[in-house]
Structure 1
């Protein structure tokens, strides 16, 4: 990982890709800090009947990383197997509350690490032109891949706020 508070180029990546990855790295660093030391019961805890568990949110981060990699780099839809595994984490809500539980922190950390490593490998094979390529996105609106990958870590930062709130409610100060 690059120096955590420096947004800049990274060896093995084109300049803009390196800057994007620098931001992704910082978001992930703060996420990992926010969940350090949590037990299975703390990862499964729900604040109320509509909330998501911290474990489900961690799996959501890995799922979003996976689906954006599949769609932007591989330019395909998820397979039936991928959908069966990742859909509860993408949907969250009732499905996530039912399916995503009972795993230790190491399970989620491994998913996060494996999905991100595949993403970083894919980014090594593209250039800045690829990052700025536009295509239809939400509601058919044009977006470039830079925005799409910005959204990946923006979503993580947003949900990390939920994690920090839940951690406080558990009586566990953030590390």
Structure 2
């Protein structure tokens, strides 16, 4: 994280994967800055009966990244055991509001870090050509691994906007 503003080579990874990881690292850095020092109460706060808490959104980031690890590297969907762990965080909504609460910030950061470490390990097993590999994706469309992992990054950035809005509303 020393060169967070550089999208460049990451030691141990090929050039395109390095750039993808650089962008993912920057997104994570800004996410962690957005939630710094939040209490359990603040992490569990709901704007209304239909919203997601900041804590649920943080766990959603880890769940989405884990799901894409399984989909792109293992070529399968989450199994029943994995869904019992990650399902509420993937689906959010009612299920997330019921099941994701009462955790301190270190709980969420630990989950984010564990999943990211697994991503680092998995990305060491492939080369840049892997990013171009295509397969069926949403609604029977073709997508390559680069797009799929871009979506992991995009999802975090999108929901981080929600986190910032919720945080502003906490103290208004």
Per the normalisation by structure 1, the TM-score is 0.96
Give the Å deviation of 1:8. Answer: 1.3
The C-alpha deviation readout for 1:1-21, integer Å capped at 9, x for no partner, is 351111111111011000000
Which SS does the other structure have where 2:5 is aligned?
A: coil
Give 4+ residue runs of structure 1 displaced > 3 Å after superposition: none
Per the normalisation by structure 2, the TM-score is 0.98
Give the Å deviation of 1:147. Answer: 0.4
Task: Work out the CA distance in 2 between the residues paired with 1:3 and 1:64.
Answer: 25
The C-alpha deviation readout for 1:109-159, integer Å capped at 9, x for no partner, is 000000000011100110011011011100010000000000001000000
Aligned to 1:135: 135
Aligned ranges 1:1-175 → 2 under 5 Å: 1=1, 3-171=3-171
Task: Work out the CA distance in 1 between the residues paired with 2:25 and 2:124.
Answer: 15
Q: How many corresponding residue pairs?
A: 172
Please list every run of 5 or more consecutive structure 1 residues that lacks an aligned counterpart in the other structure. none
Task: Work out the CA distance in 2 between the residues paired with 1:59 and 1:6.
Answer: 27
Preserved CA contact (<8 Å) 1:2 1:10: no
Which SS does the other structure have where 2:125 is aligned?
A: coil
Give the Å deviation of 1:32. Answer: 0.3
Task: Work out the CA distance in 1 between the residues paired with 2:127 and 2:62.
Answer: 23
Task: Work out the CA distance in 1 between the residues paired with 2:79 and 2:114.
Answer: 18
Please list every run of 5 or more consecutive structure 2 residues that lacks an aligned counterpart in the other structure. none
Give the Å deviation of 1:79. Answer: 2.1
Indicate the RMSD between aligned Cα atoms, in angstroms. Answer: 1.0
